[in-house]
Amino acid sequence: MSRRVWGTPQFVLRAAIVACGVAGLLIGDNRVVYFTAQSNLIVLAYFVGALYWMAKQSTVEPPAPRWRGAVTLWILITCLISHFLLNHGKNPLPGLAAAGAGVALANWSLFLVHYVVPVLVLVDWAAFGPHRIVRWRDVPLWIGYPLGYGLMIEVRGALFPAVPIKYPYFFLDPGEHGYGWVGLQFVQLAIIFGVLGAVVVGLDRLGAAAGGGRRRTDVAAGSSVPRTESEPATLN
């Protein structure tokens, strides 16, 4: 690996994302049925691959920027749904010093996967390129996964009523209000996810504007190769 790649802010931040994600998933009870666990696993898969790509290609730019946009949206959904819908905006910081090692450790796990990883991914998205590759029409594709996740939970609950953790989230549970109410939750979430997706694309545009259209530079062993925004050294 080029030492110049290893020491870049991009590489350090992405390595921190991986470290926090691994720690958060390992120290808590994060079952795959939860969207939180799934989105964090996807983040880990992407950024582990990105670190490998950066090292192999001697570049500070990650691969598949449009996929990176989707990953950013999904982990942002995890953060905001957890904070506002599940925890009702409660401050998570006091729980980190909870009495009892087991409770504190569980709270640290939740803090890492619900807050730290999403914030770091969002910073990476806004601060570092490549920019202006994702498109506004990518947003409907991005929101397909979280909506598809909810649909699969409904199908799973109907077909396997005795399964543990039948409905991981209250807004997916038709037991009290019926499927019509759940359908309304889907419509509302689709709108919210679409707005968040637009925010993700907007942050990409702001990041490009903040860069002033400057040429991007790949970090190569012993040399640098400039590229313009129209010539990304990435995979789509």
- The per-residue pLDDT for range 94-140, each reduced to its tens digit, is 999 987 888 999 999 999 999 999 999 999 999 998 999 999 999 99
Q: Is the pLDDT of residue 178 over 80?
A: yes
Structure tokens given for 86: 């599940």
Q: Which H helix or E strand runs over 220?
A: strand 216-220
Q: What is the pLDDT of residue 230?
A: 36
Q: Is the pLDDT of residue 90 over 70?
A: yes
CA-CA distance, 133 to 46, in Å (whole number)? 17
Q: Which residues of 123-162 are buried (b: 16+ CB within 10 A; e: fewer)?
A: ebbbebbbbbbbeeebbeebbebbeebbeebbeebeeeee
Q: Which H helix or E strand runs over 223?
A: strand 223-227
* Range of the structural domain that residue 63 is part of: 3-227
- Domain-embedded: residue 234: no
Largest CA distance in the chain: 64
CA-CA distance, 31 to 168, in Å (whole number)? 10
Determine the 3-state secondary structure of 79 from DSSP.
helix
> How many folded domains does the chain comprise?
1
- The gap between the terminal CA atoms of the chain, to the nearest Å, is 23
Q: Which of 53-57, 82-86, 138-142, 210-214 is predicted with the least confidence, judged by mean pLDDT?
A: 210-214
> What pTM, to 2 d.p., does this model score?
0.88
Q: Is the pLDDT of residue 156 over 50?
A: yes
Q: What is the pLDDT of residue 3?
A: 61
- Domain-embedded: residue 18: yes
- Domain-embedded: residue 235: no
Return the C-alpha torsion angle 150, 155, 160, 165, nearest 10: 10
List all residues 6 or more positions away from 216 whose beta carbon is below 8 Å from its beta carbon: 61, 129, 130, 226, 227, 228, 229, 232
Determine the 3-state secondary structure of 215 from DSSP.
coil
- Domain-embedded: residue 236: no
